[in-house]
């Protein structure tokens, strides 16, 4: 019995040892650090670490941008921050309510966690279901993770924290409640999931691709120097915006033309993906999901209204 117990303990230890996010902060500007995730899908071999999070070390303390996909990630993030600075964490800003950005909130329950009002509402409505789905997708990485709602509401505008002038923008294209953060002091723009780069965008809560295109225009016109997308590599040029605008335009045109032809959903998901998006990870997978999310609205827009008499 002792041998069996020892073997089980060793197995448990080995499993825990393999579940290490191994977060390595990379400095991208003065006092500004990035924790870069992969551009893959959620999987048990990555623990859901497919997201870019970050933090800004100010004279007044540390501002965290998104808390990650699990309690364990949030805890690993706090350890990573502690290796960079002894400054206390004074604020967590959530860009939106999707699970990879907010399920690390438990690790920051002792500090203000702030988000747009709509983000708090969406997380309250959808958080438990999203957490359950994450448990299915990444397994033990989610152990102990529970939904923690933001405890502060932020309004769009400028907020000064420890010598950093943060411009907070309330946008809508990705989820209906999307916070982008421009640090005017360093020029770093944390765009959240309004910008995906070299990774196909996700659309489960998007109010419409036209709203998203308008947000891209708004963000690109800001006086940024370094762009941090929600997913994908950091950039100092406009390539992520060009790719987003191109991809959104192609997707909108595809859905619009398919609806005009009366195509079924199972036909649309098999549409050829342009060669220029060949290096955009998960393009086919996310096209299938986007068709399921968005195509019914395009079909509805093509239907004649029955309450209007024919001329």
> pLDDT digits over 139-161, tens only?
999 999 999 999 999 999 999 99
In this prediction, residues 114-120 reach a mean pLDDT of: 98
311-to-152, 260, 308 alpha-carbon distances in Å? 54, 21, 9
Neighbours of 55 (CB within 10 A): 27
User: Does 6 or 241 have the greater pLDDT score?
Assistant: 241
**Do 161 and 91 contact (CB within 8 A), yes or no?**
yes
- The pair phi, psi for residue 147, each rounded to 5°, is -75, 130
**Which pLDDT score is estimated for 6?**
39
What sign does the dihedral 91-96-97-103 (CA atoms) show?
negative
CATH number of 15-238: 3.60.15.10
Q: Is the pLDDT of residue 225 over 70?
A: yes
Under 8 Å between Cβ of 173 and 212: yes
Judge whether residue 236 has pLDDT over 80. yes
Query: What is the pTM assigned to this prediction?
Result: 0.92
In contact, 215 and 172? CB cutoff 8 Å: yes
Rounded (10°) angle between helices 239-261 and 209-220: 160
pLDDT at 310: 52
**Structure confidence at residue 2 as a pLDDT band (50, 70, 90):** low
| Residue 63 predicted with pLDDT over 60 | yes
Cβ-proximal residues to 86 (8 Å cutoff; 6+ apart), any chain: none
pLDDT-derived band of residue 7, with 50, 70 and 90 as boundaries? very low
Question: Would you state the pLDDT for residue 303?
Answer: 79
Among 9-13, 137-141, 202-206, which is the least confidently predicted range?
9-13
Query: Average pLDDT, stretch 224-240?
Result: 98
What are the Cα distances from residue 258, in Å, to 87, 116, 153, 169, 252? 54, 35, 40, 34, 10
Q: Return the pLDDT at 302.
A: 87
pLDDT value of residue 13: 38
Residues 78, 86 contacting (CB under 8 angstroms): no
Checking if the pLDDT of 14 tops 90, the result is no
pLDDT-based confidence at residue 19 (cuts at 50, 70, 90): confident
Average pLDDT over all residues of the chain: 93
């Amino acid at each position: 019995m002792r041998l069996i117990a020892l073997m089980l303990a060793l197995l448990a230890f080995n499993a825990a040892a393999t579940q290490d996010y191994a977060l390595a902060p990379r400095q991208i500007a003065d006092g500004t650090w990035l924790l870069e995730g992969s551009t893959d899908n959620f999987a048990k071999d990555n623990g859901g670490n497919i997201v870019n999070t970050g933090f800004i070390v100010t004279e007044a303390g540390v501002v965290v941008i998104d808390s990650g996909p699990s309690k364990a990630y949030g805890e690993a993030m706090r350890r990573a921050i502690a290796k960079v600075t002894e400054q206390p964490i004074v604020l967590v800003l959530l860009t939106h309510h999707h699970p990879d950005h907010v399920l690390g909130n438990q690790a920051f329950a002792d500090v203000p966690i702030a988000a747009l009002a709509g983000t708090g509402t969406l997380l309250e409505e959808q958080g438990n279901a999203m957490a359950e789905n994450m448990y299915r997708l990444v397994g033990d990485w989610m152990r102990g993770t529970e939904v923690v709602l933001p405890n502060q509401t932020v309004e769009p505008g400028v907020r000064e924290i420890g010598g950093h002038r943060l411009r907070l923008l309330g946008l809508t294209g990705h989820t209906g409640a999307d916070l982008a953060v421009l640090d005017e002091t360093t020029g770093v723009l944390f765009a959240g999931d309004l910008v995906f780069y070299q990774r196909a965008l996700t659309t489960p809560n998007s109010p419409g691709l036209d709203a998203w295109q308008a947000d891209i225009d708004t963000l690109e016109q800001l006086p940024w120097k370094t762009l941090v997308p929600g997913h994908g590599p950091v950039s100092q040029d406009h390539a992520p915006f060009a790719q987003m605008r191109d991809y959104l335009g192609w997707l909108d045109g595809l859905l619009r033309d398919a609806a005009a032809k009366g195509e079924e959903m199972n036909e649309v998901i098999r549409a050829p993906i342009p060669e220029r998006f060949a290096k955009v990870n998960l393009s086919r997978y996310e096209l299938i999901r986007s068709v399921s999310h968005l195509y019914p609205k395009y079909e509805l827009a093509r239907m004649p209204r029955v309450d209007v008499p024919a001329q």
